[in-house]
Structure 1
Amino acid sequence: MKIITNENNPTPTNEAKSNKQLFKLNQEIILFLVLIGLIIFFSVMSTSFFTTGNFINITRQVAMLGIIAAGMAMVLLIGGIDLSVASNVALTSVSMGMLIAAGVNPFIAILIGISIGVLVGLINGLIITKVGIPALITTLGMLTIVRGVTFVITDGYPVFGFPESIRWFGTGFVMGIPVPVIMMVLVFILVYILLYKTYIGRHIYALGGNEEAAHLSGINTNKIQLMVYMMSGFFCSIAGLILLGRLNSGQPNALQGFELDVVTAVVLGGVSIFGGQGKLIGVILGVLIMGVLSNGLVILNVGEFYQMVIVGSVLIIAVGADRIFNKKKK
């Protein structure tokens, strides 16, 4: 009996992998083209857009978004979500500000603020892993709790009275580069190393792809989830320090609703809201697109409410595209 082989034709599995890689490549190229298209559009619409000063302003604006998005990307990759990020940023910013204003050494105050941010992440992780409450409900509840705590400790009033050195974190420069941008780059480098150069990254992707399979393969899934949520809290505290320096005050109502901008940037960048899929380069492009879009709309005097409509629409489109892609994979 003669066996017919089909060596020249790709197997369905190989073909699927090839199509998937092509999609990923195209996705990143499309994001880059969208970014360039937005820059060209706003440059044509306003002479105030394509200037050195405005691009420096954009990089400052996206720094906080990028830092928080780096943590959110890791959370989404494990199949979770963290809606408490904006409240966490406000709490850490206000906490640092109150301690510094009270005469505490700024370095100690910053360390305490960072610890608070990490603690919020730890609480999120413990509730999700030990109590078993879904991440969406847990972090939605923590969004309100953390914001409430922020208002309680400040009585709803801004915090003032910081040395000039604190402003450096939000408005300073190092060799002509804004300090917030340097901090964002360092955060992205750290996340890149974690995701692509350590076993932690492999475990994160495995957990997001199939939690049960990851657990059966010997991965401590609870430990990974705790670590990721704590990292998200850590990045929130870094953003809180930048916010404190940028505003030169601790604002308890700062960044309300900003968590949606973060989720939009990350999902737009190709990180699946269902977990296990996404690349850091896509997140960076998503952050830049959101930054350019926001800045351009302000320059064109588009009203704040219309901007909310646009951001919400981008989020729905990004999640819809992600869902369609996941259905095609299945």
Structure 2
Amino acid sequence: MANSEAAQATPQRSFMSSIAQLHHVREVNVLVALLLVGALISLASPYFLTTNNLMGVFRAFSLTAIMSIGMVMVIITGGIDLSVGSAMGLSSLVTALAFEAGLSMAASISAGLGVGLVFGLSNGLLITAIGLPPFIATLGTLSIGRGLMYMITHGVPVTPDTPELFSFLGQGYIGPVPVPVVLMTLLMVVFAVIMGRTRFGRHVYATGGNEQAARLSGVKTDRVKLSVYVLSSVIASIAGIIGFSRYLSAEPASGFGSELDVIAAAAIGGASLSGGAGSVAGAVIGAALVGVIANGVVLLNVNTYAQQAITGGVILIAVSIDVLRNRYSGGNA
């Protein structure tokens, strides 16, 4: 009889233990928040759960989500990349100028990606070779990028002729799903595997968790940091090219201020700004939460200026939870 009761209790304890472990997974907490916010908006507006609206929401936050994939890797190493908005905007502009000069689609896209590579190498070398703080280094490249955009365009949008295949990147659909959402999902899966299943991913987490210990363990921390800054800028340039293909016009102010949304997505998604913690999936879910809030503001006829205030409040709550969690864990240790 006692053995029978023990056998029944074991699965129950296992189930409760699994639930408790899920509660401590950062991505699950953010996903629950996303579902709750979505449920509240759907109760207040019958249009939220329509297919057209949901696909519009996905398309709207897809570029932020794509850039957050690169940003979260930088944050995990304990750094920050303020230049992603400028990398995005300048990449879209250079791609447009390449098309305007008569270059092929492959050459034009390569030119845009090259801008991201230059941004990433500049940031990485300033931080690892010279020793500048990431905030200062990327703030400087942010300003340079913005200045170059205005110098090149003189404030006038660039609108070249492009092939129909190129516009498919930003305007096309695969079934009911916008192509930018498909690309976002592919990038999320690829980099989630890289961060979770490869030596590079382990080295990124080790560098952010304790850089000195990682270096003593044989991790080439400077190379890791250089790599994540290059990846962050190149991924931002991918977002810039997709954005240009959607509107087929490179605006002088393209990407300006988007770095704040990207950092917010990573922070809301559970990335610790002190480094060592975070995930690609969490960053994308964080971007989704910001996008759903923005959509809810529109559907509920709330003052659009309130969106920034709401997003700021969500950031403060997310970071405060992270700080309290770390303090509580430290206290238990």
CA distance in 2, matches of 1:293, 1:275: 27
When the two structures are aligned, how many residues end up with a matched partner? 312
TM-score by length of 2: 0.89
Q: How does 1:306-317 map to 2 (within 5 A)?
A: 306-317=306-317
CA distance in 2, matches of 1:148, 1:300: 38
CA distance in 1, matches of 2:112, 2:280: 27
CA distance in 2, matches of 1:154, 1:280: 35
Q: Which runs of 5+ in 2 are unaligned?
A: 1-17
Look up the equivalent residue of 2:48 and give its one-letter code.
Answer: F
In the other structure, the counterpart of 2:295 is 295
- Is this contact kept in 2: 1:170–1:179, CA < 8 A? yes
Shift of 1:239: 0.2
* Bigger Cα displacement from structure 2, 320-329 vs 54-63: 320-329
Map Cα deviations across residues 303-323 of structure 1 (whole Å, 9 max, x no partner). 332212122222222222222
- Is this contact kept in 1: 2:22–2:28, CA < 8 A? no
- Is this contact kept in 1: 2:214–2:221, CA < 8 A? yes
1:179 counterpart = 2:179: yes
CA distance in 1, matches of 2:176, 2:304: 31
Shift of 1:155: 1.2
- Counterpart secondary structure, 1:218: coil
Q: CA RMSD in A?
A: 1.8
In the other structure, the counterpart of 1:227 is 227
- Counterpart secondary structure, 1:304: coil
In the other structure, the counterpart of 1:238 is 238
- Is this contact kept in 2: 1:273–1:322, CA < 8 A? no
In the other structure, the counterpart of 2:6 is none
CA distance in 1, matches of 2:267, 2:290: 11
- Is this contact kept in 1: 2:293–2:307, CA < 8 A? no
CA distance in 1, matches of 2:161, 2:290: 31
Map Cα deviations across residues 138-183 of structure 1 (whole Å, 9 max, x no partner). 1122211111111111111111022233321111012332110111
- Is this contact kept in 2: 1:264–1:318, CA < 8 A? no
In the other structure, the counterpart of 1:4 is none
Q: How does 1:1-330 map to 2 (within 5 A)?
A: 21=21, 23-25=23-25, 27-163=26-162, 164-330=164-330
- Counterpart secondary structure, 2:102: coil
TM-score by length of 1: 0.90
Q: Which runs of 5+ in 1 are unaligned?
A: 1-17
Shift of 1:19: 12
Look up the equivalent residue of 2:85 and give its one-letter code.
Answer: A
* Bigger Cα displacement from structure 2, 70-79 vs 304-313: 304-313
Shift of 1:276: 0.6
Shift of 1:47: 2.4
CA distance in 2, matches of 1:19, 1:205: 25
CA distance in 2, matches of 1:49, 1:312: 23
Map Cα deviations across residues 245-290 of structure 1 (whole Å, 9 max, x no partner). 1222001202321111111111111111111112333223212211
CA distance in 2, matches of 1:111, 1:302: 42
CA distance in 2, matches of 1:304, 1:99: 36
Identity of matched residues, %: 39
CA distance in 1, matches of 2:197, 2:189: 11
CA distance in 2, matches of 1:62, 1:260: 13
